[in-house]
Amino acid sequence: MSNETNQARLIDHSQRQGRFDTTHHLALSHIHFLDEEVVAKLAELDMVAAELEAATSRVATVERRNVRRTRLLSKAPLTSTSLGDTASRD
């Protein structure tokens, strides 16, 4: 092979490598953007999960309170004033 042919091959290879590097760089930057987007979505999901957990805890607290109140009311004697009977007071 002549020196010119070798030089032409080297230039051709360099140009191909340059296109590959550019494409590879664009692909990596796209992946980096997607990684940031995924991280943002995961952070949002974590916040929603924490809010759900807090809401579930509040519901459980209210349910326990309601059970205690229901038990107390079932044990309390029924009187006309506890029923709101105003006729007996008149």
Task: Identify the band that residue 12 occupies on the pLDDT scale cut at 50, 70 and 90.
Answer: low
Q: How far apart are CA 6 and CA 29, in angstroms?
A: 34
> What mean pLDDT, rounded, does the chain reach?
76
How much is the average pLDDT of 62-76? 92
Long-range contacts of 78-87 (CB under 8 A, 24+ apart): none
| Predicted pLDDT at 54 | 95
pTM over 0.75: no
| Predicted pLDDT at 45 | 92
| Predicted pLDDT at 90 | 46
Is the separation of the CB atoms in 82 and 76 below 8 Å? yes
Q: Hey, where are the domains in the chain? A: 3-74
Query: Rg of the chain over CA atoms, in angstroms?
Result: 38
State what percent of residues in the chain have pLDDT above 90. Answer: 31
